[in-house]
Amino acid sequence: AINDDIVAPLPTTKSFPSVRYRNEETRKRILITGGAGFVGSHLVDKLMLDGHEVIALDNYFTGRKKNIEHWIGHPNFEMVHHDVVNPYFVEVDQIYHLASPASPPHYMYNPVKTIKTNTLGTINMLGLAKRVKATVLLASTSEVYGDPEVHPQPETYWGHVNTIGPRACYDEGKRVAESLMVAYNKQENVQIRIARIFNTFGPRMHMNDGRVVSNFIIQALQDKPITIYGNGTQTRSFQYVTDLVDGLIALMNSNYSLPVNIGNPEEHTIGQFATIIRDLIPGSTSEIINQESQQDDPQQRRPDIRRAAEQIQWRPQILMKDGLLKTIEYFRAEIDRNKRGGKP
């Protein structure tokens, strides 16, 4: 409205977490695409607490306002409802480009849209970075290694992806996104960072996320069967979300432009993992069952994180068990809240 400036602000009783004070010189303007999602919202928290100005952009496909609602109304924070498939312009210093469904059932739900998000969305963010001279960090994935024949996976491994399989929309989408980053760097001198993120878990994962950590915890808490896809000998290595966020920030603020694995090398079979989760929930009577295996399911995955240690001085700090206990508490509370019809 034309008279916006003379309208008195609504009285508010909202209190915010206290944020660090920064002067103009060290305070950055930061765009986070996918900012209302699981990882994005934890990144919003860390950068807000550190005193930066944060713009979170999301189309709410899998993200939720609830994840960032504690910042809504804060003068350093802005939430933008937007789809990265369409161009977006804003003056920023840094762009964390996380927008993309991440869980297999979500990215397979609309494969064409997943490809558009990862290709057109990345072009749009690189175009923005070029125009405003921002540094852009891509949330890439260990999925670029496909079903790997090299173990553990170093960044120098080129991968083993089925271009026409059910995971291709995501895997190939992220592979093109990496190629786009490198091309814009070479051709347009855009400053780039590429984080290859390995399986991450923690509070704020969606109840219907469908990935293994949330599935197993929710099943164990509700005494429902814990569903192993296949025989459970496939492996994964899980990192806690705050470790990932620290790694992303360290990478962004380094001057390293080649891909860097960000993950926790502690590896388990999915069969072992089912027992670990059930044992952390005393009294759970869930049985562990085997279901049909998933097509093209990577059989082993563990990051080689020597590059992260050397180039950005990062290594994970949180023990899997401690992270799982926090995540179990989160889902316990979510299940209770759902029973009360979503009321706090």
Per-residue x/- marks for ligand NAD, 182-211, CB under 6 A? ---------------x-xx-----------
Residue 23 host element (H or E) = none
Segment contacting ligand UDP by CB under 6 A, of 60-68, 70-78, 226-234, 275-283:
226-234
173 binds, among ligand UDP, ligand NAD, none (CB under 5 to 8 A by kind): none
CB of 199 to ligand NAD, least distance (A): 5
In whole angstroms, what is the distance from residue 101 CA to residue 95 CA? 18
Q: Which is nearer to ligand NAD, 40 or 316 (CB)?
A: 40
If binding is defined by CB under 6 A, does position 144 make contact with ligand UDP?
no
Non-local CB neighbours of 303 within 8 Å, separated by 6+ positions: 142, 152, 153, 196, 198, 237, 261, 262, 263, 264, 265
21 by Cβ neighbours in 10 Å (0-12 / 13-18 / 19+) ranks as exposed
If binding is defined by CB under 6 A, does position 129 make contact with ligand NAD?
no
Amino acid at 234: Q
221 binds, among ligand NAD, ligand UDP, none (CB under 5 to 8 A by kind): none
In whole angstroms, what is the distance from residue 187 CA to residue 307 CA? 25
The closest residue (CB) to ligand UDP is 211
Bridge-based pairing state of the strands 135-141 and 53-58: unpaired
Window 10 to 49, contacts with ligand NAD (CB under 6 A): 33-34, 36-40
CB of 269 to ligand NAD, least distance (A): 18
Residue matched to tokens 């694995």: 261
CB-CB contact of 282 with 216 (8 Å): no
Catalytic residue check, 170: yes
Helix axes 270-279, 320-339, angle to 10 degrees: 60
If binding is defined by CB under 6 A, does position 114 make contact with ligand UDP?
no
Residues involved in catalysis: 170
Interface with ligand UDP by CB under 6 A: which residues?
Answer: 104, 199, 211-212, 215, 227-229, 234, 236, 270, 294, 297
